[in-house]
């Protein structure tokens, strides 16, 4: 099940990146916050000190989520 949820987190990250690039900051933050909620709950952060930056980074990447 973790694999499926990690894929969902990656998808949310991709959506967040898309909305950020489109200038829809609120929608981007919504999806990126969902990403953080999943990886925090599952404990699947590759770099815990950088995970929170996904929400605020101008160009977040999905590399924060392990598979």
39, 58 Cβ separation under 8 angstroms: no
Q: What local confidence, expressed as pLDDT, does residue 1 receive? A: 62
Within a domain: 21: yes
Within a domain: 32: yes
Beta bridge partners of 45: 65
Within a domain: 26: yes
Within a domain: 66: no
Within a domain: 41: yes
Q: What local confidence, expressed as pLDDT, does residue 27 receive? A: 93
Within a domain: 54: yes
Number of domains the chain contains:
1
pLDDT tens track for 2-60: 788 888 988 998 898 899 899 998 998 999 889 888 888 888 766 555 555 655 555 54
Q: What local confidence, expressed as pLDDT, does residue 19 receive? A: 92
């Amino acid at each position: 099940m973790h694999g499926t949820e990690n894929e969902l987190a990656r998808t949310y990250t991709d959506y967040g990146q898309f909305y950020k690039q489109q200038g829809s900051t609120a929608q981007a933050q919504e999806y990126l916050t969902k990403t953080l909620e999943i990886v925090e709950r599952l404990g699947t952060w590759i770099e815990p000190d950088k995970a929170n930056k996904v929400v605020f980074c101008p160009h977040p990447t999905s590399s924060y989520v392990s598979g």
